[in-house]
Amino acid sequence: MPIFSFPARPLRRGPLPACALAVLIGLAPCAAWPQEFPDRPITLIVPFSAGGPTDVTARLFAQAMAREAGKPVIVENRPGAGGATGGGIAARARPDGYTLLWAGTSTLTVAPALYASLPYDAHTSFQPVGRAMTGPLALVVHGKLPARSVADLVALARAKPGTINFGSAGIGSIIHLTGEMFRQRAAIDITHIPYKGNAEVLTDLSAGRLQMAFMALGQVMPQLGKGDIRVLAVTSLDRVASLPGVPTVAESGYPGFESVEWFGLLAPAKTPVDVLQRLQRLYAAVASQRAVADAITALGYVAIRDTPEQFSRTIAQDADKWRQTVATAHVTPQ
């Protein structure tokens, strides 16, 4: 069963349930945050649909933020264009600290590499508050596909060019670009199928309507053991503790292959310094909670506590990597 269960539709009105997730992750009541900020609900923009890793991690952090600050944190899903739609909405928001962005690799580094024009600039439209978690993707295939290793999958794709489809949460997502990077490195003919969200990808993959996908570990792990899907490899350079018997793509014949997903909190540019400092303290207080770290681990990620400066450097470094991937793989928006 999934570790967390959330509504399947975007939340656009009203706060998150007051205690459901807090009870699950064992958050204890805490002292109220200084009343000058926040003194009303905070809206957290999520640039992907409900049920995917960006949404699930956002709800985890939003519930913890609400408990810490003593004010509701409303999650608002605004999917589209690989996270660009929601990113643009957050960039145009009033810079008062009450509309924030929860975003990751796709929105901040992949989409800028893919799209010539975006409604935001990943480097100047936002002020990073902190990066909260990181983790690899899993190379997943349908359970009945005759492939039990990366080598098997590549051999099958070469024997039957154009017959294997890989899904993603949309053009410009990290899942899409990781698939393109794999196609390039393996020199195989596979077809990209964009979906509206990760939940739909997993549904079709489990049903056999889709042959393969790169997906967040936390999303696929609850489905393992049912026989519907199989994990062939992970995209980190090292194996993960939760699946020690699963090799990396790098050790499966593609040295240096790495695709790491991360998520963090950002505020619109020109947010007042005093408000930004309070947001940074709020983020640090939440990120330091053992219950939050344990919940992040259970989702297949590693909890981290990056400073705004570290977060900015990561955005810049990963942007260069994905820009090169887009150029060499000749990926273009459809």
- Residue after which a domain boundary falls, among 252, 278, 313: 252
Residue with the two structure tokens 């109220």: 32
Q: Which of 197-201, 206-210, 234-238, 330-334 has the lowest mean pLDDT?
A: 330-334
Q: Measured between alpha carbons, how far is 66 from 63 in angstroms, rounded to an integer?
A: 5
Q: Is there a single domain that holds both residue 124 and residue 141?
A: no
Q: Is there a single domain that holds both residue 56 and residue 126?
A: yes
- Rg (Cα) of the chain, in Å, rounded? 19
| Region 172-184 average pLDDT | 89
Average pLDDT, the chain: 88
The answer as to whether 29 is a domain residue is no
The answer as to whether 66 is a domain residue is yes
Q: Which of 9-13, 62-66, 269-273, 297-301 has the lowest mean pLDDT?
A: 9-13
Q: Is there a single domain that holds both residue 160 and residue 60?
A: no
| Region 82-102 average pLDDT | 96
Q: Is there a single domain that holds both residue 163 and residue 240?
A: yes
Q: Is there a single domain that holds both residue 140 and residue 244?
A: yes
Q: Is there a single domain that holds both residue 70 and residue 120?
A: yes
Is residue 329 pLDDT above 80, yes or no?
no
| Region 33-42 average pLDDT | 80
pLDDT value for 82: 75
The answer as to whether 115 is a domain residue is yes
Is residue 235 pLDDT above 50, yes or no?
yes
Is residue 12 pLDDT above 70, yes or no?
no
The answer as to whether 36 is a domain residue is no
Is residue 178 pLDDT above 50, yes or no?
yes
Residue with the two structure tokens 């964009």: 194
Q: Is there a single domain that holds both residue 182 and residue 212?
A: yes
Q: Which of 8-12, 119-123, 175-179, 184-188 has the lowest mean pLDDT?
A: 8-12
Burial class, 8, CB count within 10 angstroms (exposed 0-12 / middle 13-18 / buried 19+): exposed
How many CB atoms are closer than 10 A to CB 151? 13
Q: Which residues constitute the domain of residue 197?
A: 136-252
Q: Is there a single domain that holds both residue 245 and residue 267?
A: no
Q: Is there a single domain that holds both residue 287 and residue 308?
A: yes
- pLDDT category at 35 given cuts 50, 70, 90 is low
Q: Is there a single domain that holds both residue 271 and residue 246?
A: no
Q: Is there a single domain that holds both residue 225 and residue 183?
A: yes
Strand 42-46 versus strand 99-104 pairing type: parallel
| Region 245-261 average pLDDT | 96
The answer as to whether 124 is a domain residue is yes
- The count of structural domains within the chain is 2
Q: What angle do CA 173, 175, 177 make, to 5 degrees?
A: 70
Q: Which two tokens stand for residue 249?
A: 């793509």
Per-residue pLDDT tens digits for 113-131 = 888 899 999 999 999 999 9
The answer as to whether 7 is a domain residue is no
Return the higher-pLDDT residue of 24 and 53: 53
CA 41 and chain centroid, separation? 24
Please state the three-class secondary structure of 96-161 as a single string. Answer: CCCEEEEEEHHHHHHHHHHCCCCCCCCCCCEEEEEEEEEEEEEEEEECCCCCCCHHHHHHHHHHCC
- Residue after which a domain boundary falls, among 202, 224, 252: 252
- Residue after which a domain boundary falls, among 219, 252, 285: 252
| Region 81-103 average pLDDT | 95
The enclosing domain of 233 has a CATH number of 3.40.190.10
Give me the percent of the chain exceeding a pLDDT of 90. 69
| Region 35-51 average pLDDT | 91
